[in-house]
Amino acid sequence: MAEQRKRQPKVCDYYKNEDQFSPGVAFCAGCALELNLRFISRVLGKDIIFVGTPSCSAPVLHGQNAAAWHRHGYYACTMTGVASSASGLTRYYQKAGIDATVVCHTGDGCAQDVGFQTLSGAAERNEKMIYITYDNEGYMNTGIQQSSATPFGASTSTTPSGSASRGKTTGSKNMPLVMAMHDIPYVATATLSHLEDYAKKLVKAKEKAKEGFVYLHVFCPCVVGWRIPVDSSIQVCRAAVRTNYFPLWEVDEDGYRVTQPVKDPRPVGELTGMLGKFKHLRDEELAILQGQVDHRFKVLQALCAGSA
């Protein structure tokens, strides 16, 4: 066998520091969110201040009594208060001349539902911060309830599939586009299968946060809630990108662009087939979901074309 040399993947070039998190923390085995948080920490560096809230990330981001699971500064608050608390922090740091990167880190339930008003307000004020939503398409920490990020047809504990109804009856909010419509310096989507793409976006986010509000939306599967094999989170992310269910794009002052174009997008059934929450889906329901995916991608393409 030819001599092998250790090479680290290119994404490692973006790592700013060692993992600031404790080696043993209470995320489910195989949880994409654990990778998300550790990755953000490595790329953005140890000086960021996290703003977190009750969610799957809370048991790890927030301390327990006087001890903590990581070495970042953090501020824990209610779901209704994430972007507003972050506004208070970032405004004071500016007043006091303290160089700081405030990073809100919440689930889709907070960002899109109960914390949406305050997120929208902070974006409109162009507050200098990065808001990262990890989208596991529901309220997972409290027991897999539906949120406005839950897709059409998905079975959750509050939209279960039964004889009288078959999963969520409405589609999800196109949250990244909603945030893009606030005309903020930078919006991007990312996921854990495309780490180099994600790293570049995080680095850009840190720069753009000096100008104003940055929003990142990260597709982040939940092993328990989506009923997938414990080893398949990354595969699911990859499938989401390859089916155009979750296209990877960004928008800044130069316009919209798809950062990871997919040449021959696969039918969304290849993604739903991997997920237990869609097990009950009939062909006609899948067709509706495909229609929504197609429509959404068309809108994105039009925005990209309009920016050219």
Partner 1 sequence: MTVALDRQRKVITGNAAAAYAAMLCRPDVVAAYPITPQSEVIEQLAKFHADGDLDCEYVTVEGENSAQNVVCAATMAGGRAFTATSSYGLVYMYDAMFNTAGYRAPVVMINVNREPPGIHAVCSGQQDMISVRDTGWVQLIVEDCQEILDTTIMAFRLAEDHDIQLPVIVNYDGYYLSFLAESVEIPAIAEVDAYLEVLKSQPSRPRLIPGEPLGCGSHGIGMGYVELRKKHMAAMERVKPKLEEIDREFVQAFGRSYGGQVEEYRTEDADIVLVTSGSAVGTARTVVDAKRDEGVKVGLVKLRLYRPFPVERLSSALAGKKAIGVLDRSICFGWDCGPLYMETLAVTPRIGVIPMLSFIDGLANMDITQEHISRMIDDIHGASRGLPYQEVTWLP
Partner 2 sequence: MVEERGDLFETEASWSDASGKMLCLHTGDWRTVRPVFDKAKCNACGFCYIYCPIQCIVDDEDGIHYAADLEYCKGCGVCACECPKGAITMAPEGDYADDCGIG
Class of residue 263 by CB neighbours under 10 A (exposed 0-12, middle 13-18, buried 19+):
exposed
Interface characters, 160-199, with partner 2 (x: CB under 8 A): --------------------------------x--x----
- Residue 26 is a binding residue for partner 1 (CB under 8 A): no
CB of 116 to partner 1, least distance (A): 11
Return the closest-CA partner of residue 150 out of 167, 131, 133, 130: 167
62 vs 242, which CB is nearer to partner 1? Answer: 62
By the 8 A CB rule, do 188 and 216 touch? yes
With residue 191 as reference, give the H or E element that holds it. Answer: strand 186-191
Class of residue 304 by CB neighbours under 10 A (exposed 0-12, middle 13-18, buried 19+):
middle
Residue numbers 52-71 binding partner 2 by CB under 8 A: 62-71
- Residue 142 is a binding residue for partner 1 (CB under 8 A): no
Q: What angle, 0 to 180 degrees and rounded to 10, lies between the N-to-C axes of helices 233-242 and 32-44?
A: 80
Residue 4 interface partner, choices partner 1, partner 2, none, CB cut-off 5-8 Å depending on type: partner 2
- Residue 140 is a binding residue for partner 1 (CB under 8 A): no
Instruction: Count CB atoms within 10 A of the CB of residue 225.
Output: 26
Tell me the CA distances in angstroms from 92 to 105, 121, 127, 128, 265, one per residue in order: 20, 17, 11, 11, 46
Among the residues of 173-242, which ranges form H helices? Answer: 175-180, 195-208, 233-242
Question: Interacting stretch for partner 1, rule CB under 8 A, among 119-127, 137-145, 265-273, 286-294?
Answer: 119-127
Distance, CA of 106 to CA of 78 (rounded, Å) = 11
Residue 287 interface partner, choices partner 1, partner 2, none, CB cut-off 5-8 Å depending on type: none
DSSP annotation of 265: P
Out of 74, 131, 186, 246, the residue judged to bind partner 1 by CB under 8 A: 74
- Residue 125 is a binding residue for partner 1 (CB under 8 A): yes
Residue numbers 51-70 binding partner 1 by CB under 8 A: 58-59, 62-66, 68, 70
Structure token pair of residue 63:
């301390």
Question: Interacting stretch for partner 2, rule CB under 8 A, among 2-10, 77-85, 200-208, 281-289?
Answer: 2-10
CB of 22 to partner 1, least distance (A): 12
Residue 121 interface partner, choices partner 2, partner 1, none, CB cut-off 5-8 Å depending on type: partner 1
CA dihedral of 234, 11, 39, 177, whole degrees rounded to 10: -70
- Residue 200 is a binding residue for partner 2 (CB under 8 A): no
Residue 263 interface partner, choices partner 1, partner 2, none, CB cut-off 5-8 Å depending on type: none
Residue 128 interface partner, choices partner 2, partner 1, none, CB cut-off 5-8 Å depending on type: none
Torsional sign, CA 251, 256, 259, 265? positive
The neighbouring-strand residues paired with 249 are 258
Class of residue 204 by CB neighbours under 10 A (exposed 0-12, middle 13-18, buried 19+):
middle
- Residue 23 is a binding residue for partner 1 (CB under 8 A): no
Out of 33, 49, 179, 188, the residue judged to bind partner 1 by CB under 8 A: 49
Out of 27, 186, 246, 256, the residue judged to bind partner 2 by CB under 8 A: 27
CB of 94 to partner 1, least distance (A): 7
Where do contacts with partner 1 occur on this chain (CB under 8 A)? 46-49, 58-59, 62-66, 68, 70-78, 80-81, 83-89, 91-96, 98-101, 117-118, 120-122, 124-125
